[in-house]
Every structure is written in C-alpha cells, then in structure tokens.
Amino acid sequence: MAEINLLPQEYRLQQQAKKRQRSCLVVFFILLIFFCGHLLGLVGKVQFYRRELADLQQQLASLEAELAVFAELEEREELIEEGRELYKQLVQGDLPWSLILREMEGAARLGIHLDQLHIDSEGRVIVLGQAAELASIASLFTYLAQSPGLDGIDIDYVRQGNEGQWLFSLQGWVRQVGGEL
C-alpha cells in the first residue's frame, strides 16, 4: 500500500519541529535537574567543610591554650636545668655557699645596699655596694671580718658617689675548710 498524505508538507515540518522542541525541552529540564542536584551537592559539601572548619578552629584554640601551658612548662624546665647546672658548678667548686650567702644576708640588714658579690674559683670574694653612712660600711666590715666563713677581709676602696652615698669595695677569701676551699 502506498502512503498517501493529504496534509501539506509544512504541517509535517511543523510537527517535526514541535517534536524537536519537546525533545530539547526534556533534555534541557533533565540537564537543569542534574545541574540543580549537583549545585545542591556542592552547597552540602560547603556546609560540611564549614562545620569541619569551625571544629578545627575550636581544636586550634584549645591546642593554643595547651601550647601556652607547654611553653610555660618548657621555660620552667629550662630554669630547672639552669639551676641544676649552677648546682653542679657549686658542688664542683666546694665553696661553702650557704654560709657565705647567710652572712651576706645578715650584712644587708645593716643598711647596706650590695650591688655585686663575686666569688672566683680560687675563693677570692669581692663585695661591691653602697651605703648612706660610713658607719654602715664599718659595721659590714666588722661583721664580715668576724664571720667564720671568710678570711682576710680588707677594704679595697671607699669613696663618695655623685648622689651623696658612699661606694665601697671589700675583698677577702673564703675560709679554707679541711685544707680545701
């Protein structure tokens, strides 16, 4: 059988154009749905990463606080280590430090301001300081001369400073105990 088409040629072209339009609209809506789904997925990922970032920032804040505590502990450990080193040096020098420091503490109560106390490895003691009155320096000299831990205390110099105070330097030796310093 032969196909007879009584419709005009333009009608058939219009129908094909409408089918193509519908197909394009279906494809467009399918692509739009995929795009919207992908966009929603990206928004979800962004929200997830924002929550992760907020959690990480909270963890960072807590770690910074712990780090500050750790840094303080490290500083204390360094001070303890310095103290240990100083103690080792003290022990190796065999100087009667506690006795000498107690005597210096007693001397400071006599109105003397001690600027420097130096004890070298040979046991030589140098005391530098200042006082408002010469009598205070004389009292310090007498106190140190009578101290059981020091020998040969002598005045190196006494002079008046710019502000009216008396500057002084005393020298002596750590008393030998059992033939050693």
Burial class (CB in 10 A: 0-12, 13-18, 19+), 31: exposed
How do residues 87-102 score in pLDDT, each as one tens digit? 666 566 555 556 666 6
How do residues 69-126 score in pLDDT, each as one tens digit? 899 889 888 878 866 765 666 566 555 556 666 666 666 656 788 888 888 777 788 9
Spatial contact of 74 and 82, defined as CB atoms under 8 Å apart: no
CATH code of the region 95-174:
3.30.1360.100
Q: Which residues contact 106 (CB under 8 A, 6 or more apart)?
A: 143
pTM over 0.75: no
Question: Which ranges in the chain belong to alpha helices (H)?
Answer: 9-93, 97-108, 134-145
